[in-house]
Structure 1
Amino acid sequence: MKLLKQLKITGCYVLLALITITQFKVWSQAPERPFILVKASECQQILNKIETQEWAKEIYDTLKLATDVEVAKFYKNPTAYIKQLPFDWSKKQQNRFPTFFKTTHIRNGVQENLDNATDEDWKPAELLITYLQVALDCGTMYYLTQDEQYAFVASSILYSFIKSVQQTEVSTWRGRGGWLFPYDGFREVRVIGYRLPLIYDFIYPYLKKEGKAFDIIENKNVNFPFEDAQEVFKTYANITVNYGQSGSNHSVLEAPSLVYNALAMDDKMDREKWLSYFFTESTENQDALNVMVKNYKDEGDIWPETSQYLNHTTSILARLMLVLNKYDPSLKLGEKHPNVLHALPRLDYFVYPNEEIVRWGDGHRHAHVPYEAYDDAYAVAKMDGLTEIQNKFAPLINRAMNKGKYKREGAEALFWYDGSFDNASTNVDLSRTDRVYHAGIVLQRNLSNTNNPKDGLMGFVGGAHMVHGHAEGMNIELYGEGQVLGVDNGRNRYGVDLHENYSRIFAGHNTVIVNGSSRGEGGWVDLEINKIQLISMEPEVGQEGVSPNHSFSLTSFEDDKGDKAEATQERTLALIRTSPTTGYYVDVFRSKSRLPNEYHDYVYHNIGDKLTFENKDLDFQKTPKRYMANADAPWKRNKVYRHPGWHFFKDVKTSKPYASDVKATFHTKKLEQGNVFMQLHIPGFENRTYTKVKAPITFESPEPYDNLPTPTLVIRKEGEAWKNPFVVVFEPYNETETPSIQSVAKIEQDGLYKGLKVISKTPSESLIQYVITQSKDEVFQNETLDIYFKGTFAVITLDENETLQSIYVGEGEKLSYKNEGVTTNSSKSYYKEYTK
């Protein structure tokens, strides 16, 4: 406590005195520095926070301990310390600083960006980043303590960087070059460019009173080169504005470098000029904020890319809104753009019962939720008086802290966050259905009243074109027994054969491939597909749902890229719970091509050890060449692919043509939680063959399946698959249970598929369910069953004595069963339970 009281005197009071002395000097064209992350006038309240709040004291103590170690090393031998920066001494000229080693990556003799750079490639950059971070930490400690030892270390590192970097030219490689990363300026501004102005801002009071820097060439302390520093800041701002890529998250990822370097400019006109490129002046290579925020037109809109990019992007915007609001409170960026803040927690709602994330495109299964951005959003909302947003984020922050998922760390937390939210709720209510609109995703969930994640049910249908999207068709994922079982392949390293020619394209997804030719074409890296269109769903997003046990969606897709698929498709995905611990999914996929000699392949991947069939007469035979037609087709990274990607399938075995019903099971027996199964009931139709394969590993699967092949089923239908579509009933269960479904039989009308009869035996009762799945506004009438239904989706549930238990109409106009008739209202949905 004595130290902290001393800091108050030697730190803030001296700094405020310095402000008073220098405020009228000619170079003072802005509030006295520092002011980018924090203002000089805020120092006292930060020290009070360190003294009174344990989390703040822990951050301070951790920062001081690590920084003091580096300061001691520097003062022991300043020359040796600075010479550890990645200088290329072989290129040193007389009386000049040597240049730094460049960070590059060469593959197959060709210079590339750093997507797939090796550890060796990254060594110069990592070393440089380490020392720049030391300088930034020293600058922070100087701000808090006014101890000039910290400022001298920071000044010497920044000085050395400036003198070295100015010995080279900025690369113009493909319009995306850098200074030290000549083939990836995009990364340079993200990992290096933004740090320099922050260091300068923190130590500016020291520099302005002629604080020195150590020069390893002259071997003496020298004055700081202000003009050179300003040129460096302008260069990094220029790399952001005039290099790079618009129309994607790149503009946001580069924006901190632009904003921080602009704020480091001492001339007010320069500062305002470069800040205008962030606020309103878009260029060919950089979108301004007024363009970026168009992605958040409505409350709940999210950045239109994949999960790890959308939240990271929005987090950066929220932080920049906070920084600029602090710089100029009259901007009120939170008030002007509240939907940016509302977008931040959306990813918390796209989660399975085990809290893994719904995956589309290049998205991760375990993407980090940026809780520090929630704190940023709360701070912005507090500044701008946005009570609704404060009330939205307080429980989210509190919940994350209580669950041990979030701990405030880093200097920014000291500067910006205050207090706790002990009285805030910690509930996050997940709706029965939700949508990721830009990704075409329609998801359904049914959480069990057991409150056990393994009893939860959830699945989704999705697919669309976006930056970092995949040509995935109308794809599904399915959850069961605490795991995502029916999986999308995900992604690992960009640019490699597996990613380009499998993960990104149809065969890596649970979809239907048409004529062996489904593909993406045009758009971002030539992977454009049409967006999945919603035809109908129940419940609607945010609604209660008419039934606690049923939900469904009907979606459509045009598979018309290239010229060899030319297909129209519909997919019904239904979730039916039969008890607190049992339930199943119904997947009905219709597909028809406008071309002659059509065929369609239904592909389903499930993590596991093996896929087995109860039908012994399928007569599987090895067919190693079945999917190899495009194995040696041309491939050009990010431009030309080996569609549809199924040449990666191994151990391919195919049945004879088979028209009977099929029952199959995926066995997953190496999970830490114990054995898990996914059983499939597949009604039989003519002209079908069944193939089982080993697909590549599924990334981010639970161990050990993140390093094992993925057993996969492919069902081929010769001819159209519309009138008699692909129909699969999925039931997950574990080793302590037996499957509840006893039998599945198709229901037909005039030789056409209309639905299913599913008999189940749950832990408490036996059920007979008629599940009717039609295209919109079709009619099913069966005199034997005494059922009439005009509509899209319905479930009639009976007990084992065939006594009516419930009627569910997901969408329809009229349903009758024996003596019971239902006419729906304007909502087209209906549910009624009958007395047992």
Structure 2
Amino acid sequence: MILKKIVLVTLVMVNLFVFKGVQAQSLKHPVIWVTEAERADLLEKIDKYDWAKSVVNQLHKRVDTKLKIHQSNANIILSTIPDFAKHDRENTERKASPIAAGHNKVLTLASEAGMLYFLTKEEKYAQFAADILAYYIDVIAPLTPETTTICGNEFFDPRTTYAPFAIAYDFIYNYLKKPNIKVYNKAKNTRVAFNNNKAQKAIANIVGNVMQEYGKPDEHGKIVSNHPILTAPGALFSIFCIDDDAERNRLFNVFWQKGTAHQNSFKNTILPMFGEQGIWPESLSYSFMPIITMVLNIVDRIYPEMNVTQDYQNIFEGNFLFDHLRHPNRKFVRFGDSKRNHDGTQDLYRYTLSIAERRGYSNLKKQAQIALRQAYTAEGGYKPRITNDIFNNFKPLKLFWGLPIPAHTQGDINFNKPTVLVKHAGVALQRNYVEKNNELYGLSGIIGGAHYVHSHLTGISMELYGAGYIMAPNAGLPKSVSERKIPLHENYFRLYAGNNTVIVNGTSHGLQPGSWKDGAYVWQNKTVNIASEPKHLENPISKNFSFATQFLNDDVNKATQQRTLSTIRTSDKTAYYLDVFRSKSLNENKFHDYIYHNIGDETIITNRKDDVLKVTPTNQYKNDIGDPVQSPGWRYFENTKVTKSTNKAVNIRFNINDDKRYMHMFVPKGTDRTYTKALAPATREAEGDYINKKTQVLAIRQKGEAWDRPFIAVLEPSTTKKASVQSIEPLMDGAKIVGAKVVSKVKKCVITDYIISQENQNATYNNIKLNLTFKGRFGIVRVEEEKNKNTYSLYIGDGETLRFKTYKVTSNQEKSAFKIFK
């Protein structure tokens, strides 16, 4: 008890020293985004470039009208400030959101007025910002770090209110330090002398509330969510507003080195999670994390001696990975809780360019300039906009850190490489690019799955693009936070049946221990890449062929799975995917279900003669395993109708009536299967009307194992009702299926592809009838017949030798080879 009293007295004495005594202040404001020394160059940039002028004009448009209102009646703007919460755990995120939005609107106004003061030196802007800040200071200063809050949520305030408060204070600091500065006091309806000691107490409370040094310590090396990244600006910006040098440096050390359980150490907990690929290990739209590059830039500007930009080059290089993960329509691929239309790449490039320019990183500078030029070209020119976004208060950095991009930057970045791997997510992308009208005729697909924060439980899922649409979509994320908690998301979209995958014995599920979210039951093993041609971000050996194989050792479901996706082009306007999915239970193999979703209006199942197969209603997917999330999730299938079992070849066509696009699916003969067509919930972020229409679903059920008899499907997206693919047959090795013969007709050319896809790179296939032998995992023999002339193409994606008739290729050190024989 005596010790507690001594500590309390000591804290009170420190408080008196910091806020009532003389403070050592060596930091010159503004400092967070820009300095006074940079102002002249900034004004020159505004004078010289229209895009910079437009940002300034937008700031004026957002501030000037409200400034005039405030000058006529100071109560009007201040009266729009919502009530303050009583403590930082008073409100859920859902309840805090509108409160935070209201405060953010006013505090953003203050920060933008502060920016205009810096640019124009007109004191009316500083006075406007000061009057707003004074209102907040009066409320926050009497509190303690534990009781400090604005919107009543410890996660929302550092993201939405604390950062714009700090930015405003930083920009008008020199004005506030002038003698006899007065600010409006709404309660007294008069102007009073500005009290910087009170402002410092309020800022110290804000910093204390974010850092929560009164809570548990940080565990360095712990895997954390993105929360401490999102709250970092609220902490860091506020720390740089602390006047006392010793306290500011101490707090920065806690932020950077020591950390707390709430605001983890940037150096020792957050940054190590980026790994070799330099990206944040979550689903794609969460992975951009431009705050990381922004923080590194700010820290490097203020503490250049730390040399942080040199230490984290992998992160800056990783910023350029995301543009490799776009479909031909520039929408992002989707894995886990991800949104296609969220795009943080330009912020990443601008922040990286700012660092590279200042530090002289010539390679990074060139990459950033090229990437920005390509992005601006795709958008029809650079037209920066400042818009309202409570979670992104950093849009004016387009002006302060923005740099002109040369009109003709030498070189380009090839964002159309065939193979892209995202290791933490277990994802492999396969792309086939065409120079002319790639959006319509290019292919792009991904396969994979793993457990990570914001992951879904999918096994080896698949997503395919074609004919201008993301035809076969992964599930993604709903519009609102509240929708993430409804059964449709938790019990369908997040589970196997909401994705394109294979379900084992009707029981594929995840575990709760280890799951990133309470009650989610989504823990699964990681899918890993075991082969691809080309390798990650390397050039292909053939413009027509590429492949990737993903492997999953599924400890949860006691199963082994392997999936190969290949893009195969037959002309500038025709191409198809080959999907080979091997799966087996390590216990009893009762049955396997191949689940495939396609946007559209109709699913038509026919035999090889184009006769429609009869279907009857079935309830075989109206069940679950009885876990809390109703795995595997297929209870959400509606209007389920099944064919009789057949071992004949089956063709399926998915019709997209809006603009007459199609996905043609071909399944070879040889294995007894039933085909169920159904409707599923509408596809999130789908194009056009398909965002509201039910999604077409096909479920192919096969009794027993699916390893020696894998699911094989050719999928051809097309603008025509008739596919270029004519037929598909299995390639057999005894009783095992090791690939497919695919026959296509393009104009007058008949193209026959013999595609061998074996389970390992040491497997040998010998087809005496075809006079074909192959040692390896993946290879293709193509025969093109036109005008009685044959052309042969031999491709080894992963293997040693491939021989067809008298033609032969041997692989290089990369285990690949390609040659055309005429």
TM-score, shorter chain, exceeding 0.5:
yes
State the distance in 2 between where 1:427 and 1:591 align: 41
Partner of 2:640: 652
Given residue 662 of structure 1, which amino acid in structure 2 is its aligned partner?
V
State the distance in 1 between where 2:810 and 2:68 align: 82
Given residue 676 of structure 1, which amino acid in structure 2 is its aligned partner?
R
Q: Which runs of 5+ in 1 are unaligned?
A: 1-24, 88-98, 105-110, 173-177, 636-640
Aligned pairs for 1:310-321 within 5 A: 310-311=287-288, 313=289, 315-321=290-296
Partner of 1:373: 348
> Using a 3 Å threshold, how does the CA distance of structure 1 residues 421 and 646 change in structure 2: closer, same or farther?
same
State the distance in 2 between where 1:513 and 1:757 align: 26
Partner of 1:303: 280
Is the 2:589–2:705 Cα contact (8 Å) retained in structure 1?
no
State the distance in 1 between where 2:505 and 2:443 align: 33
> Using a 3 Å threshold, how does the CA distance of structure 1 residues 144 and 798 change in structure 2: closer, same or farther?
closer
Using the TM superposition, name which of 463-472 and 518-527 deviates more. 518-527
State the distance in 2 between where 1:426 and 1:372 align: 21
> Using a 3 Å threshold, how does the CA distance of structure 1 residues 277 and 168 change in structure 2: closer, same or farther?
closer
Partner of 2:491: 501
> Using a 3 Å threshold, how does the CA distance of structure 1 residues 155 and 258 change in structure 2: closer, same or farther?
same
Specify the SS of the correspondent of 1:652. strand
**1:66 maps onto 2:62 in alignment:** yes
Given residue 161 of structure 1, which amino acid in structure 2 is its aligned partner?
Y
Given residue 639 of structure 2, which amino acid in structure 1 is its aligned partner?
D
Is the 2:460–2:527 Cα contact (8 Å) retained in structure 1?
yes
Specify the SS of the correspondent of 1:137. helix
Aligned pairs for 1:442-457 within 5 A: 442-457=428-443
> Using a 3 Å threshold, how does the CA distance of structure 1 residues 402 and 734 change in structure 2: closer, same or farther?
closer
Name which of 542, 545, 549 aligns with 2:540.
Answer: 545
Is the 1:306–1:362 Cα contact (8 Å) retained in structure 2?
yes
Question: How many residue pairs end up in the alignment?
Answer: 767
**TM-score, structure 2 normalization:** 0.88
Is the 2:683–2:691 Cα contact (8 Å) retained in structure 1?
yes
Residue 58 of structure 1 and its aligned partner are, at CA, apart by 2.5
**1:607 maps onto 2:607 in alignment:** no
Specify the SS of the correspondent of 2:698. strand
Specify the SS of the correspondent of 1:701. coil
Residue 293 of structure 1 and its aligned partner are, at CA, apart by 2.4
Partner of 2:383: 407
Q: Which runs of 5+ in 2 are unaligned?
A: 1-20, 386-394
Using the TM superposition, name which of 495-504 and 802-811 deviates more. 802-811
Is the 1:474–1:557 Cα contact (8 Å) retained in structure 2?
yes
Partner of 1:629: 623
Residue 547 of structure 1 and its aligned partner are, at CA, apart by 2.1
State the distance in 1 between where 2:573 and 2:177 align: 70
> Using a 3 Å threshold, how does the CA distance of structure 1 residues 788 and 509 change in structure 2: closer, same or farther?
same
**TM-score, structure 1 normalization:** 0.87
State the distance in 2 between where 1:642 and 1:816 align: 50
State the distance in 1 between where 2:816 and 2:401 align: 49
State the distance in 2 between where 1:686 and 1:810 align: 27
Is the 2:676–2:698 Cα contact (8 Å) retained in structure 1?
yes
**1:113 maps onto 2:92 in alignment:** yes
Partner of 1:693: 678
Given residue 622 of structure 2, which amino acid in structure 1 is its aligned partner?
M
Name which of 649, 665, 671 aligns with 2:653.
Answer: 665
State the distance in 2 between where 1:318 and 1:680 align: 44
State the distance in 2 between where 1:609 and 1:789 align: 42
Aligned pairs for 1:709-720 within 5 A: 709-720=694-705
Specify the SS of the correspondent of 1:608. coil
Using the TM superposition, name which of 696-705 and 301-310 deviates more. 301-310
Residue 185 of structure 1 and its aligned partner are, at CA, apart by 1.3
Task: After superposition, give the CA deviation of every residue in 1:310-367 in whole Å (9 maximum; x if it has no partner).
Answer: 11x1x11111222222223333332222222222221111111221111111111222
Residue 112 of structure 1 and its aligned partner are, at CA, apart by 7.0
**1:188 maps onto 2:188 in alignment:** no
Given residue 738 of structure 1, which amino acid in structure 2 is its aligned partner?
K
Partner of 2:267: 290
Residue 797 of structure 1 and its aligned partner are, at CA, apart by 1.6
Specify the SS of the correspondent of 1:547. coil
> Using a 3 Å threshold, how does the CA distance of structure 1 residues 359 and 265 change in structure 2: closer, same or farther?
same
Partner of 1:108: none
Identity %: 32
Aligned pairs for 1:462-611 within 5 A: 462-492=448-478, 493-521=483-511, 522-523=513-514, 524-525=516-517, 526-561=521-556, 565-596=557-588, 598-611=590-603
State the distance in 2 between where 1:461 and 1:147 align: 57
State the distance in 1 between where 2:302 and 2:656 align: 55
Partner of 1:785: 770
State the distance in 1 between where 2:403 and 2:733 align: 67
Residue 26 of structure 1 and its aligned partner are, at CA, apart by 5.5
Partner of 2:53: 57
State the distance in 1 between where 2:318 and 2:574 align: 34
State the distance in 2 between where 1:589 and 1:38 align: 54
Specify the SS of the correspondent of 2:261. coil
RMSD: 2.5
Specify the SS of the correspondent of 2:525. coil
Partner of 2:26: 30
**1:359 maps onto 2:337 in alignment:** no
Aligned pairs for 1:4-403 within 5 A: 27=23, 29-87=25-83, 99=84, 113-114=92-93, 116=94, 122-165=97-140, 179-182=149-152, 184-209=153-178, 210-242=180-212, 247-291=224-268, 292-298=270-276, 300-311=277-288, 313=289, 315-403=290-378
Residue 69 of structure 1 and its aligned partner are, at CA, apart by 1.1
Specify the SS of the correspondent of 2:570. strand
Is the 2:85–2:149 Cα contact (8 Å) retained in structure 1?
no
> Using a 3 Å threshold, how does the CA distance of structure 1 residues 679 and 401 change in structure 2: closer, same or farther?
closer
Is the 1:335–1:386 Cα contact (8 Å) retained in structure 2?
no
> Using a 3 Å threshold, how does the CA distance of structure 1 residues 414 and 453 change in structure 2: closer, same or farther?
closer
Specify the SS of the correspondent of 1:601. strand
Is the 1:768–1:802 Cα contact (8 Å) retained in structure 2?
no
Given residue 165 of structure 2, which amino acid in structure 1 is its aligned partner?
L
State the distance in 2 between where 1:815 and 1:122 align: 61
Given residue 621 of structure 1, which amino acid in structure 2 is its aligned partner?
T
Is the 1:251–1:287 Cα contact (8 Å) retained in structure 2?
yes
Given residue 437 of structure 1, which amino acid in structure 2 is its aligned partner?
K
Residue 227 of structure 1 and its aligned partner are, at CA, apart by 3.1
Residue 642 of structure 1 and its aligned partner are, at CA, apart by 2.0
Using the TM superposition, name which of 614-623 and 521-530 deviates more. 614-623
Task: After superposition, give the CA deviation of every residue in 1:602-622 in whole Å (9 maximum; x if it has no partner).
Answer: 101111111101135743111
State the distance in 2 between where 1:54 and 1:727 align: 55
